[in-house]
Structure 1
Amino acid sequence: MCGIAGFVNFKKNLIDKKSIIEDMTNTLIKRGPNEKGYYISKNALLGHRRLIVVDPKGGSQPMIKIHNGKKYIIVYNGELYNTEDIRKELLEAGYEFSSYSDTEVLLTSYIHWKEDCVNHINGIFAFAIYSETDKKIFLARDPLGVKPLFYTIKNNNLIFGSEIKTLLANPLVEPILTKEGLTEIFALGPARNLGSGVLKDIHEIPPANFIEFTEHKFKLHEYWRLSCKPHTENASETAEHIKFLLTDAIKRQLYADVPVCTFLSGGLDSSIISAVAASEFKKHGKTLNTYSIDYKDNNLYFKNDNFVITPDSVWAEKMRKFIGSNHHKIINNNLDLASALYDAVKANDIPGMADIDSSLFLFCKGVAEKNVVSLSGERAIQMITNLVKQFINIGEL
Structure 2
Amino acid sequence: GITGWINWKDDLTPKRFILEKMAETLSCRGPDAGGIWLSAQAGLAHRRLIVIDPEGGSQPMVRQYGEGQYVITYNGELYNAPELRRELETKGHHFLSHSDTEVILIAFIEWGVTCVKRFNGIFAFAIYNDKDQQLFLARDQLGIKPLFYANCRDTFLFGSELKSILAHPGIQPEVDATGLAEIFLLGPARTPGQGILRGVAELKPGHYLIYDRKGIQIRRYWTLESKPHRDDLKTSALTVHHLLREAVKGQLVSDVPICVLLSGGLDSSAITAFASQELARNGQGPLYTYAVDYVDNEQYFRPNHFQPNADAPWVQKIASLFNTRHQTVFLDTPALADALPIALKARDLPGMVDIDASLYLFSREVKKGATVALAGECADEIFGGYPWCRDNNVLSTGTFPWMRMISERLLLFSPELLKYIRPQEYLAQRYQEALAEVPCLPGENQAEKQMRQLLYLNITRWMPVLLDRMDRMSMAAGLEVRVPFCDPRLVEYAWNIPWAMKNCDQREKGILRLALKGMLPDEVLSRRKSPYPKTHNPTYLETVRLWFERLIDDSSSPLRQLVNIDSIRTLINTKASAFNPAWFGQLMGGPQLFAYLIQVNTWLKEYKISFHL
Distance 2:3 2:103 in 1: 20
C-alpha deviation, 1:91, in angstroms: 0.3
Gap change, CA 1:23 and 1:379, over 3 Å in 2: farther
C-alpha deviation, 1:176, in angstroms: 0.4
C-alpha deviation, 1:224, in angstroms: 1.4
CA contact (8 A) 1:150 1:162 kept: yes
C-alpha deviation, 1:12, in angstroms: 2.8
User: Which deviates further from its counterpart, 149-158 or 303-312?
Assistant: 303-312
**Corresponding residue for 1:119?**
117
CA contact (8 A) 2:226 2:439 kept: no
**Corresponding residue for 2:241?**
243
Map 1:356-367; keep pairs closer than 5 Å. 356-367=355-366
Identity, in percent, stands at: 44
1:60 counterpart SS class: coil
**Corresponding residue for 1:138?**
136
**Corresponding residue for 1:375?**
374
Distance 2:380 2:364 in 1: 22
Distance 2:277 2:213 in 1: 52
Structure 2: runs of 5+ lacking an equivalent: 385-399, 401-430, 441-452, 454-613
Gap change, CA 1:281 and 1:164, over 3 Å in 2: same
**Corresponding residue for 1:355?**
354
Gap change, CA 1:382 and 1:176, over 3 Å in 2: farther
Distance 1:306 1:84 in 2: 45
Distance 1:155 1:30 in 2: 30
Gap change, CA 1:285 and 1:85, over 3 Å in 2: closer
Map 1:136-175; keep pairs closer than 5 Å. 136-175=134-173
C-alpha deviation, 1:287, in angstroms: 0.4
C-alpha deviation, 1:343, in angstroms: 0.2
User: Which deviates further from its counterpart, 159-168 or 298-307?
Assistant: 298-307
> Residue 393 in 1 paired to residue 437 in 2?
yes
Structure 2 residue aligned with 1:75, among 73, 76, 94?
73
CA contact (8 A) 2:225 2:439 kept: no
CA contact (8 A) 2:141 2:205 kept: yes
C-alpha deviation, 1:300, in angstroms: 1.7
Residues 136-167 of structure 1, C-alpha deviation per residue, up to 9 Å, x if partnerless? 01000011011000000011211000000110
Letter in 2 for 1:338: A
**Corresponding residue for 1:227?**
225
Structure 1 residue aligned with 2:185, among 184, 187, 204?
187
CA contact (8 A) 1:11 1:215 kept: no
User: Which deviates further from its counterpart, 177-186 or 13-22?
Assistant: 177-186
Structure 1 residue aligned with 2:9, among 11, 28, 40?
11
CA contact (8 A) 1:225 1:390 kept: no
C-alpha deviation, 1:60, in angstroms: 0.4
Gap change, CA 1:114 and 1:285, over 3 Å in 2: closer
Residues 22-49 of structure 1, C-alpha deviation per residue, up to 9 Å, x if partnerless? 0000000000000000001011011000
1:16 counterpart SS class: helix
Structure 1: runs of 5+ lacking an equivalent: none
Letter in 2 for 1:334: T
1:57 counterpart SS class: coil
C-alpha deviation, 1:68, in angstroms: 1.5
Letter in 2 for 1:358: A
2:175 counterpart SS class: coil
CA contact (8 A) 2:224 2:439 kept: no
Letter in 2 for 1:356: I
C-alpha deviation, 1:379, in angstroms: 5.0
> Residue 24 in 1 paired to residue 28 in 2?
no
**Corresponding residue for 1:208?**
206
C-alpha deviation, 1:315, in angstroms: 0.9
Structure 1 residue aligned with 2:56, among 52, 55, 58?
58
Distance 2:43 2:378 in 1: 32
User: Which deviates further from its counterpart, 302-311 or 225-234?
Assistant: 302-311
C-alpha deviation, 1:243, in angstroms: 0.9
Gap change, CA 1:41 and 1:382, over 3 Å in 2: farther
C-alpha deviation, 1:210, in angstroms: 0.6
**Corresponding residue for 1:97?**
95
CA contact (8 A) 1:226 1:390 kept: no
C-alpha deviation, 1:390, in angstroms: 6.6
Distance 1:231 1:280 in 2: 30
1:262 counterpart SS class: strand
**Corresponding residue for 1:295?**
294
Distance 1:331 1:196 in 2: 35
Gap change, CA 1:191 and 1:104, over 3 Å in 2: same
C-alpha deviation, 1:19, in angstroms: 0.6
Distance 1:355 1:133 in 2: 48
Gap change, CA 1:380 and 1:21, over 3 Å in 2: farther
Distance 1:393 1:7 in 2: 32
Distance 2:184 2:261 in 1: 29
Distance 1:208 1:198 in 2: 20
C-alpha deviation, 1:310, in angstroms: 2.1
C-alpha deviation, 1:10, in angstroms: 2.5
Letter in 1 for 2:154: N
C-alpha deviation, 1:306, in angstroms: 3.5
**Corresponding residue for 2:312?**
313
2:254 counterpart SS class: coil
C-alpha deviation, 1:323, in angstroms: 1.3
C-alpha deviation, 1:285, in angstroms: 3.6
TM-score by length of 2: 0.62
1:32 counterpart SS class: coil
Residues 181-204 of structure 1, C-alpha deviation per residue, up to 9 Å, x if partnerless? 122122224111100111101100
Residues 55-89 of structure 1, C-alpha deviation per residue, up to 9 Å, x if partnerless? 00000000001112311000000111110110011
Gap change, CA 1:299 and 1:394, over 3 Å in 2: closer
TM-score by length of 1: 0.95
Decide which structure has greater helix share: 2
Residues 277-332 of structure 1, C-alpha deviation per residue, up to 9 Å, x if partnerless? 11112222410110000111111222223432321111111111121111101111
CA contact (8 A) 1:10 1:135 kept: no
> Residue 277 in 1 paired to residue 275 in 2?
yes
C-alpha deviation, 1:240, in angstroms: 1.1
Distance 1:380 1:188 in 2: 23
Distance 2:163 2:171 in 1: 10
For the aligned residue pairs, the C-alpha RMSD in angstroms reads 1.7
**Corresponding residue for 2:339?**
340
Letter in 1 for 2:367: A
Gap change, CA 1:18 and 1:379, over 3 Å in 2: farther
Distance 1:353 1:227 in 2: 31
Letter in 1 for 2:278: E
Letter in 2 for 1:294: D
